[in-house]
Structure 1
Amino acid sequence: MYGGNYALEQQSLKKPAYLYEIDFMRLFFILGVLFNHVINQFTANMVSDPTNTEYKLLSVSLIVHFTRMGFMFMTGVVLTLNYYHRHDWLTFYRKRFNGSIWPYLIWNALLLVVTIIVGETTQNTKSIFSWSGFGQQFVNIILHGSNFYMYYMLIIMQLYLIFPALMWLFHHWSTYHKRILIISFFIQLVELIIAKYVLPHVDTSNWIYWIKNYDINVFSYQFYFIFGTFTILHYHEITDWISKRIKFLLPTTILAAIGTVVYFCWYDRIVLGLTEGRSVSPHQPYTLIYAILVIVIILWVGQHYAMWYKNGMPKWLSSVVKNGARVSFGMYLDQTIGLLILDETLQHIHVSNTTMLFLIPLGYAFVVAISFGIAWFCYKVRPFGFLIGRPNWHPFKRAKKSKSSIKTTAKIGYDINTR
């Protein structure tokens, strides 16, 4: 299985070419994540009306609920591309955790401070944080990843712990990659069935937090990481397979997107009688199929982007995509600042739900601009790069380098936080 083609893929991984489609996909998925969170801010600030505007917007927003899974998929892609043939795992752990733990701690602390200041300044009754309980609140949010959309960071740090084992699995069973993917898919499907149909009827109050709150459990997303690894190891075969079947895959994905609305409005809400919170959860069997379809389509679109790039894309557009991809991780980390400003603004403008709908593009553009602006500032201005996982100030390394005549070469490939 995959004999000759697999060998060719491995040879290309040792000296990887620059894959411009990865830039496109990273930017696409972070923009999708931000859009999803912007929609949440608008629905939270709508009032009940006869036309059920909030309910309709919430149901349509499910169409973009694939973005979280796409983010996980891209993590698997770029980590594998970088480390499949590099097995110095002590160096891996040192680099990965240094680039994750400090941003995680600092952003949680910074955002907690900002939230308290804004809450007290505006007398926001929705604020759940205070100076008196700062220490306990900070410990709670870093242990649980329960605020500021930082759950992703906890998941990624768990992935770092098991990533060497994942690479060993693909190396050791090098002729059974397809079986690994299929087994992973069915495990994921079983997990989602249990999460949707079993756990809500079980008393989990005494369970370990990491198990009962599967949103922060790395194994709740294991298929997407493995799918990303599989895709980059068999890249040409996967992309050829997609190209041959795109006439079927594209309309199927569109129908699946429309189906998310039916799934929410009819099956989850009426047939099962679920709450809005559980109905919009991404941990559902239907979402697994839908997310896979969208990821496949975005990979196909990314290939066309890469071809356009190589055949004369306008420089301004390629720069936007490239720079956006560079700081996509930082945009994820700092997004709460823009979302917080948006939320406070929406609370004070007092407009109709219909007007709210027309303001969504403006609110989205604002959050994207703020998120990118902060991330780009950190990327360009020393020493703030470490805040977005891209250290741009290395005083000790520079001192060491000045004393040594050893020449070093730049690494080739991609990194989850770097380009």
Structure 2
Amino acid sequence: MTSTTATRVSARDDAVSDAAPKPKAKRSYLHHLDLIRATTFALVIFIHVLTQTTDEVNSVGVSTTGLFLHFTRNMFFALTGFVLTYQYFGRQDFSTWSFWRRRIKLVLYPYVIFTTIYFAVKILLPQGRLSGDTKALGGYLWGGLTGSSSFRDFPAGITGTLKELGWNLGWGLGGGGFHMYFLFVMVQVYLLFPLVLWLLQVTKGYHAALLGAAFVTQIFITVTITHWLPTTSPWWHHYATFIPYQFFLFYGAVAAVHRDAITRAITGPNARYVGAGLVVALIGTATYALLAFRERLANSDLPPNASAGAFEPTLLPFLVTAIACLFTVALLWGERWREHTPRFARFVSFASNRSFGVFLVHVLVLYFVLGMLPHGENAWLIRTLPQPLGTAVAYLLTLVGSILLVELLRRLPGSLYLTGRERLPLPALRLPKRKPAAPAESQASAVTSGSRASEPTTAPSA
């Protein structure tokens, strides 16, 4: 009877276990993406330091370096497409609304917060408007609270400042933080990603055609941006829209879907031929981009940086190849060398974890490193140290200062919206404590004192 009951209970438990929803299988962590992320952010910070500490307009060398490092911004979007597709492609439980709620806030809040900070520090403060607007706002609030004036009488100067800030936010101008357009575009990418995911689903088996169509569209976009400018300024702010980066988003997304085949090609028996082909392609496309750049220089009266735009059609083959090369090197490290380089692996993990926060604050840190000047070429550091030492020191100081600032922000409330990462606990303060007496010593002491108390005060007589 007992055995039958136990069998029924066991069967019922098994049935309940089978009916219960199974936890989602967590996809494996791709460590090589950390190396891509850390490398890309480091290069972005470098080019920003380089252009702020040199004559970026008239220097051919700086313009050439900037031309090739334009691949970093496109690497960002290829990496984003790869990561999002790796996480969500093929998932039956994907929800557009849940995706938007979870993802958009991670870039929208930092975008608004840091655009406001850069606007205050790099625009209002140098112009002397920050203190004036602060006083006007304080007087307005005090007057409204005390009744000496009406809340309806809002200061006109602050109204103009808020409109200017709204213009910066609405067009991805960054308010003096020239890199904030990236977050503005990322919001658009997150809004459009469900459509990208749908396209990947309905074009299964035809992803090469999808990528080819995106590439042809990219050529048309870059030709339009480069050769059709109805005004002297980018009136439609193309750099702050997803349009010039659409191909790279699909580039990363398609690579994520076919990552197993790509991994086999890079690490398989034909790896050396794949590697050699990529090296030849990188040299060839870089040479083509450089020759085209030199030709533009020879046929233009404009300064060199005008010929080194990020959307030159002749640069496109190099961008595609450079992204593939960086991905290949990172994948080889992750698959073959990571286990044999534990210290470097820890460094890469740390750098990747802090990279987004460092990206957010590095322009602010660089601004103070260079003495809060409109252009760092005239900063004391750059005038004192010979080049390229001055740029190298400025880069090092910017990196260290940015990491220290991020470490501080990571421990503040709201860290998720200040650095893109969850808050870290504050280090605990440990006060020295008196060590209690060892049990053996206490017991020995008690035995000794007890025996002494029981001993007679005088020796027994013989």
Q: Same fold (TM over 0.5)?
A: yes
Worse-matched range after superposition: 36-45 or 15-24 = 36-45
The amino acid that maps onto 2:323 is: I
Q: Which runs of 5+ in 1 are unaligned?
A: 1-12, 47-51, 122-130, 394-419
The amino acid that maps onto 1:248 is: G
Partner of 2:276: 247
The amino acid that maps onto 1:22 is: L
The amino acid that maps onto 2:402 is: S
Give the one of 22, 26, 29 matched to 1:18: 29
Q: CA deviation at 1:57?
A: 2.5
Q: CA deviation at 1:257?
A: 3.4
Give the one of 61, 66, 73 matched to 1:68: 73
Q: Which runs of 5+ in 2 are unaligned?
A: 1-23, 129-156, 425-462
The amino acid that maps onto 1:341 is: F
Q: Does 1:161 align with 2:191?
A: yes
For 1:37 and 1:55, locate their aligned partners in 2 and report how far apart those are by CA, in whole Å. 16
Q: Does 1:369 align with 2:400?
A: yes
Q: CA deviation at 1:104?
A: 0.9
Partner of 2:170: 143
Q: Considering only aligned residues, what root-mean-square deviation do their CA atoms show, in Å?
A: 2.8
Partner of 1:385: 416
For 2:171 and 2:305, locate their aligned partners in 1 and report how far apart those are by CA, in whole Å. 19
SS at match of 2:126: helix
Percent identity of equivalent pairs: 22
Residues 354 and 103 of structure 1: CA distance in aligned 2, closer, same or farther (over 3 Å): closer
Partner of 1:41: 52
Please tell me whether the aligned partners of residues 200 and 207 of structure 2 are also in contact (alpha carbons under 8 angstroms).
Answer: yes
Taking the TM superposition and a 5 Å limit, the aligned residue runs for 1:321-336 are: 321-336=348-363
SS at match of 2:114: helix
Q: CA deviation at 1:83?
A: 2.0
Q: CA deviation at 1:260?
A: 4.0
The amino acid that maps onto 1:223 is: F
Partner of 2:102: 95
Q: CA deviation at 1:100?
A: 1.8
Please tell me whether the aligned partners of residues 288 and 314 of structure 2 are also in contact (alpha carbons under 8 angstroms).
Answer: no
**Superposed CA offset, 1:348-403 (max 9, x none):** 3286699232222211122222222222333344432321222439xxxxxxxxxx
Residues 270 and 354 of structure 1: CA distance in aligned 2, closer, same or farther (over 3 Å): farther
Partner of 1:300: 328
Q: Does 1:233 align with 2:263?
A: no
For 1:275 and 1:14, locate their aligned partners in 2 and report how far apart those are by CA, in whole Å. 55
For 1:92 and 1:305, locate their aligned partners in 2 and report how far apart those are by CA, in whole Å. 31
Q: Which has the higher contact order (CA 8 A, sep 6+)?
A: 1
**Superposed CA offset, 1:244-282 (max 9, x none):** 421121133134335544332x22222355554432211
SS at match of 2:386: helix
Q: Which has the larger radius of gyration?
A: 2
SS at match of 1:245: helix
For 1:289 and 1:353, locate their aligned partners in 2 and report how far apart those are by CA, in whole Å. 40
TM-score w.r.t. length of structure 1: 0.78
**Superposed CA offset, 1:206-258 (max 9, x none):** x9x5xx22101202100000000001110122234453421121133134335
For 1:32 and 1:360, locate their aligned partners in 2 and report how far apart those are by CA, in whole Å. 14
The amino acid that maps onto 1:336 is: V
SS at match of 1:119: coil
For 2:347 and 2:303, locate their aligned partners in 1 and report how far apart those are by CA, in whole Å. 40
Q: CA deviation at 1:303?
A: 1.4
Q: Does 1:349 align with 2:360?
A: no
Partner of 2:448: none
Task: Give aligned pairs, total.
Answer: 359
For 1:353 and 1:238, locate their aligned partners in 2 and report how far apart those are by CA, in whole Å. 49
Q: CA deviation at 1:80?
A: 1.1
The amino acid that maps onto 1:92 is: F
The amino acid that maps onto 2:295 is: Y
For 1:66 and 1:258, locate their aligned partners in 2 and report how far apart those are by CA, in whole Å. 15
